[in-house]
Amino acid sequence: MDHAKLERNGIVFAMAILGVASIGGIVEIAPLFTIENTVEKVDGMRPYTPLELAGRDIYVREGCYACHSQMIRTLRSDVDRYGHYSLAAESMYDHPHQWGSKRTGPDLARIGNKYSDDWHVAHLKAPRDVVEGSVMPGYPFLSETRLATQHLPAALAALARAGVPYSQTQIEQAENDAIWQADIDADFEDDLIARYGENVQIRDFDGNPDKLTEMDALVAYLQMLGTLVDFSTLNPEEAAR
């Protein structure tokens, strides 16, 4: 048969494979050049506030991604346990993304506002006091470590060069915004909302209003995860459940 002759001729067979793969690649890739953006825009998504960004950096620094993914699959078991499957738009401002491939601990894509700030602080300080049998290490030092904010303008500027739509005002005010988000008594809520939208959570996150700590930043980041998108507008039938 013809295919038997083809398989016996290594060079011709390799060229045939290359040709078929090239055609398939062109069919899949070419349409991408005709659309402006491959990530569907979703209402509510915004860049991280400086405080949330600082918390995300701490999350990465401490290796939290090694045990916690942030990508809910479309599998029924995932959706039933964690909530609506993850959208590409939710990671559009992540550099790098935190999708993960292993779950020693639960997925955190929808952890925001699921527990109180006090719960997160207690859990991060002494995990087994809150979750029996947890293998997570404790991070009590976060509550004692003052958050460094002087680098935040440069961090936002670097992300802006990577495509995150931070304005010059957001970059210049980054240090102040981080401090103000954790201090509701500072009375700068209107400024934060003007720069980052209505879905900015403004309060003392670590229970110590006298000091801005790394715990403030990490809890602010965790409490934001999964809260920016109103999934009931994407799937109206879920709102009736």
- What's the CA gap between 189 and 182, in Å, rounded? 10
Q: Mean pLDDT of all residues in the chain?
A: 90
- What's the CA gap between 212 and 55, in Å, rounded? 12
- Half-sphere exposure (Cβ direction) of 69: Cα atoms closer than 13 Å: 14
- The conformation of residue 28, written as its DSSP 8-state character, comes to H
- The two tokens of residue 212 are 């801005």
- What's the CA gap between 123 and 130, in Å, rounded? 6
Q: What is the mean pLDDT of residues 161-185?
A: 96
Instruction: Confirm if 164 and 47 have CB atoms less than 8 A apart.
Output: yes
The pLDDT tens digits of the residues spanning 15-49 come to 888 888 999 888 888 776 766 666 677 888 999 99
- The two tokens of residue 132 are 């029996």
- The two tokens of residue 149 are 């904010």
Bridge partner residues of 146 (DSSP): 213
The pLDDT tens digits of the residues spanning 126-146 come to 999 999 999 999 999 999 999
- What's the CA gap between 186 and 120, in Å, rounded? 24
